[in-house]
């Protein structure tokens, strides 16, 4: 007569088989999730966000008195000094323009993309950057009719190209024009490209070719990863170019501000709130704002992981002793 196995042996064997099956399901599930996260790298993009501020190694200087803001501000002060970068920028004598553009001779084309067509990942601050700058320009005396703003679904490749042609057509002697882009940047084939909502990319060469048809004073400002690549053929004695990072670096967004680090520092903290007024004379020039933002963008992002700091880049027109209320012509 064949003897059956003891009951405890049967139960132990059953439990072992069950555990093996569960582990197998978990391994398969994990593999599927991993593959989904890595799918179509060319069609998606990620803009890193600031997760923590560095600990100040030296005492931060007392900020300049905050002026009554003409627009609703978002960014908050309290950014620490980073000892390894040296002291924050002090007063400098910026060259003052010989002439200024009248309000009716100022034009701006502002593009910001927060919501992208899938599978491209959204940003946090693209649209908010563009609309904030528009409100600041209006408060600085720019006619609303001279300011074009496109965001999110409006910001297709065709719409961006149309706006650039419009802006270049307005740029003539005696005028001042501003182009700002906040969103993803694509690197491909040795070039940087503006990343529209619909992925109909605008290469750096096309951007320069169109804007260089202008003949008046111009400021081109780009907030996006690898933005420094747009320096090709753009900066000149007529055109001021500023970008949020080098062509080899990521650019960050600041969730608590609802703005990109660069736009928040230049336009909100720097120009609107007057924190960049290094000589405390009550007027913040664009030169002061760019130096302030260049320093503090590095201080904020220096210890971010895994990408490290963003180092803003500024080149072109050296005459920067002007404000948005009195831009050069």
Q: State the CATH number of the domain containing residue 173.
A: 3.40.50.1460
pLDDT at 47: 86
Contact call for residues 277 and 269 (beta carbons, < 8 A): no
Which H or E run contains 313? strand 313-316
- Confidence at 210, pLDDT banded by 50, 70, 90: very high
Strand ranges in 183-302 using DSSP code E only, listed in sequence order: 185-188, 191-194, 202-203, 217-223, 239-243, 253-254, 259-260
Q: How far apart are CA 309 and CA 109, in angstroms?
A: 28
Asked if residue 259 has pLDDT above 70, the reply is yes
Contact call for residues 299 and 80 (beta carbons, < 8 A): yes
pLDDT at 41: 52
Is residue 258 exposed (0-12), middle (13-18) or buried (19+ Cβ within 10 Å)?
Answer: middle
Calculate the average pLDDT of the chain. 85
| 238: CB partners within 8 A, 6+ apart | 214, 215, 216, 217, 218, 316, 317
Q: Give me the number of domains the chain comprises.
A: 1
Only one residue has tokens 């290469």, namely 203
What are the CA-CA distances from residue 307 to residues 49, 239, 242, 265 (Å)? 10, 30, 21, 20
- Between 80-94, 149-163, 164-178, the lowest mean confidence (pLDDT) is in 80-94
Asked if residue 292 has pLDDT above 90, the reply is yes
Residue 280 lies in a domain: yes
- Confidence at 62, pLDDT banded by 50, 70, 90: very low
Asked if omega into 306 is within 30° of 0 (cis), the reply is yes
Domain region containing 186:
98-316
Edge-to-edge strands, sheet with 313-316 = 147-151, 106-112, 176-182, 217-223, 239-243, 313-316
Residue 200 lies in a domain: yes
Higher-confidence position of 125 and 40: 125
Q: How far apart are CA 305 and CA 166, in angstroms?
A: 40
For residues 297-305, average pLDDT: 93
Residue 103 lies in a domain: yes
Residue 295 lies in a domain: yes
For residues 193-197, average pLDDT: 98
Asked if residue 61 has pLDDT above 70, the reply is no
For residues 27-31, average pLDDT: 29
Residue 307 lies in a domain: yes
pLDDT at 66: 42
Residue 205 lies in a domain: yes
Residue 139 lies in a domain: yes
Q: Parallel, antiparallel, or unpaired for β 202-203 and 191-194? A: antiparallel
What are the CA-CA distances from residue 112 to residues 31, 57, 182, 183, 196 (Å)? 36, 35, 5, 6, 9
Asked if residue 36 has pLDDT above 80, the reply is no
- Confidence at 2, pLDDT banded by 50, 70, 90: very low
Q: How far apart are CA 185 and CA 214, in angstroms?
A: 24
pLDDT at 19: 38
pLDDT at 322: 98
pLDDT at 70: 60
What is the value of pTM for the model shown? Answer: 0.82
pLDDT at 136: 98
Q: How far apart are CA 206 and CA 319, in angstroms?
A: 26
- Confidence at 52, pLDDT banded by 50, 70, 90: low
For residues 47-58, average pLDDT: 63
Asked if residue 187 has pLDDT above 80, the reply is yes
pLDDT tens by residue, 108-149: 999 999 999 999 999 999 999 999 999 999 999 999 999 999
Only one residue has tokens 């004379």, namely 281
Q: How far apart are CA 21 and CA 165, in angstroms?
A: 62
């Amino acid at each position: 007569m064949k003897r059956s196995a003891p009951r405890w042996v049967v139960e132990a064997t059953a439990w072992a088989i069950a555990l093996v099956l569960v582990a197998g399901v978990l391994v398969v599930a994990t593999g599927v999730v991993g593959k989904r996260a890595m799918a179509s790298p060319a069609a998606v993009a990620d803009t890193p966000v600031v997760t923590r501020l560095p600990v100040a190694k030296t005492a931060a200087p007392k900020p300049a008195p905050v002026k009554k803001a003409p627009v609703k501000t978002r960014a908050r002060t309290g950014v620490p000094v980073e000892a390894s970068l040296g002291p924050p920028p002090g007063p400098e004598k910026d060259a003052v323009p010989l002439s200024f553009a009248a309000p009716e001779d100022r034009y701006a084309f502002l593009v910001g993309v927060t919501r992208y067509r899938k599978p491209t990942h959204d940003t946090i601050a693209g649209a908010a950057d563009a609309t904030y700058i528009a409100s600041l320009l209006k408060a600085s005396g720019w006619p609303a009719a001279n300011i074009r703003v496109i965001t999110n679904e409006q910001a297709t490749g065709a719409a961006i190209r149309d706006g650039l042609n419009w802006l270049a057509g307005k740029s003539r002697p005696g005028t001042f024009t501003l182009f700002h882009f906040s969103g993803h940047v694509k690197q491909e084939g040795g070039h940087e490209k503006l990343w529209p909502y619909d992925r109909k990319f605008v290469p750096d060469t096309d951007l320069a070719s169109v804007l260089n048809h202008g003949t008046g004073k111009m400021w081109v400002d780009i907030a996006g990863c690898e933005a420094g690549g747009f320096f090709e053929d753009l900066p000149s004695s007529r055109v001021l170019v500023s970008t949020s990072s080098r062509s080899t670096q990521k650019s960050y967004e600041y969730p608590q501000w609802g703005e990109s680090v660069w736009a928040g520092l230049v336009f909100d903290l720097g120009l609107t709130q007057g924190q960049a007024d290094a000589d405390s004379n009550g007027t913040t020039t664009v030169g002061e704002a760019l130096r302030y933002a260049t320093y503090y963008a590095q201080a904020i992002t220096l210890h971010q992981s895994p990408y490290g700091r963003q180092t803003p880049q500024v080149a072109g027109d050296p005459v920067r002793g002007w404000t948005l209320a009195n831009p050069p012509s």
